Structure 1
Amino acid sequence: MFSAAIFDMDGLLIDSERTIMNTWIAVGHGLGVHIRPVDYAEIIGRSLPECHAMLAKMFGEEQLFQEALTRVRQRLHSPTTPPLFPLKSGVHALLTALVKAGVPCAVASSSSGQEIRSRLARVDVLDFFDAIAGGDEVARGKPDPAVYELAASRLRKSPSDCLAFEDSENGVLAAHRAGIRVVTVPDLKRPSAEVIGVSLTMLQSLDQAIECASRWFDIEDLPA
């Protein structure tokens, strides 16, 4: 059915969304601001400027938000071993199989291009990707389709040739609005009825995607 794969990054390829959310909640608590996970979940998948605008409203005062942003950045950029954002289950095996089978892969993420390359390099999967499209390269972030349209164009594929893999509601809607079929692998937030309705299928993890890949990409014998 498809000849290319496009992946979200945070919460899909790497286990980062939970760490980032918990960091904002902890920093907020230290500054006297209570951020509920259900409120934070609304920003997942959006562009960085949109995320910051929504977080600024939660903190109320610009000065307080800027202090929180400084503290969050300090915590998230502190060197750690193992990596702060580890690779999620099934990712390496799926990417290895697709690349061996000649299926080009791209990343379409709300994170900046620099952040994408940095985070994926730390977990040794950057070289699997033929193209990267970051949230800093488009005028509007997910659920706007622009970042997915950019990723498909960089693979020199039409949207209908591509299959997207997403964890967030905003990401699923972005891929769908770009004309790209999407497999949903939920991370922090339970999918809405709308997301379920537009998804090709839903999986618990990318481990399950390996079992379906032969059919999705019209490969008779997908290499292990």
Structure 2
Amino acid sequence: MFSAAIFDMDGLLIDSERPIMAAWMAAARTLDVELSHAQYLQVVGLATAESEIILSGLLGGPAAFRHALEHVRQALALERSDGTPLFPIKPGAAEFLGALRARGTRCAVASSSTSGQIQACLGSLGVLHHFEAFAGGDEVPRAKPDPALYLLAASRLGVDPTQCIAFEDSENGAKAALAAGLRVVIVPDLKHPPAAIVEQAFHVLESLHDANAHLPRWFPGEMVRP
């Protein structure tokens, strides 16, 4: 039915949102500010510039934001020192990617992270080889929900967007994929997309573990790789 799969990365393939949220909450406490879970969720799925505006308001202004940002960077850098990946792979992701590869399904990543961050992160988790193309936020003029990232990823695969399924966790990511003409499978992470977006989705999954059951119908390719 479809010939390619295009994946978001943060919150979809990797469990990055939780450690980043924890780092921001800890950084806020150095400013004597209690940043709540609900407050932080306001920035999930937003572009960097939009997130900065909201966090600056929550933390007490631009100077407070810069102070907290430095703490966040230091905290996340420290987590790398034990040799483990900074962000673990999400449950079911590696298995699903392997199953797609075995069927000969072409895969790409369309992420607001930079292209360098995408390849470094997925390389550290041992799944980079499953992807033929990458589209990073540093390569397009506008972030999600603009469709540019998905259009670039589909173009680099050489596949019509209407022949692709996008796998997304966020509202803005789903909007971007829909605007580009892809079908969207939503796998919610920290923040469940609103009903209006869910209604437009091709399917909603609890986790990528559940995606394997749909492979024969969504990607009916032959088993070509071990």
TM-score category (smaller protein) = over 0.9
- Asked whether the 8 Å contact 2:107–2:130 carries over to 1, the reply is yes
CA distance, structure 2, for counterparts of residue 101 and residue 117 of structure 1: 23
Matched, 1:7 2:10: no
| Residue matched to 1:115 | 117
CA distance, structure 2, for counterparts of residue 56 and residue 135 of structure 1: 22
Q: Which amino acid aligns with 2:120?
A: S
| Residue matched to 2:30 | 30
| Residue matched to 2:165 | 163
Q: Taking structure 2 as the reference length, what is the TM-score of the superposition?
A: 0.93
Identity %: 49
SS at match of 1:89: coil
- Asked whether the 8 Å contact 1:47–1:111 carries over to 2, the reply is no
Question: Which one of 209, 213, 216 corresponds to residue 214 of structure 1?
Answer: 216
- Please show how residues 89-168 of structure 1 align to structure 2 within 5 Å: 89-168=91-170
After superposing the two structures, state which structure 1 stretch, 205-214 or 47-56, moved more.
47-56
Q: Which amino acid aligns with 1:133?
A: A
Q: Taking structure 1 as the reference length, what is the TM-score of the superposition?
A: 0.94
CA distance, structure 1, for counterparts of residue 113 and residue 51 of structure 2: 11
- Asked whether the 8 Å contact 1:23–1:72 carries over to 2, the reply is yes
Structure 1 residue 221 displacement after superposition: 5.9
CA distance, structure 2, for counterparts of residue 222 and residue 216 of structure 1: 16
Structure 1 pair 191/152, CA: closer, same or farther in 2 (3 Å)? Answer: same
Structure 1 residue 33 displacement after superposition: 2.3
How many aligned residue pairs are there? Answer: 224
Q: Which amino acid aligns with 2:66?
A: Q
Deviations 1:65-112 (A, max 9, x none): 111111101111222343221111111111111112211101111111
User: What's the RMSD between the two structures over aligned residues?
Assistant: 1.7
| Residue matched to 1:86 | 88
Structure 1 pair 58/222, CA: closer, same or farther in 2 (3 Å)? Answer: farther
Instruction: Return 5+ residue gaps in structure 2 as ranges.
Output: none
- Asked whether the 8 Å contact 1:11–1:17 carries over to 2, the reply is yes
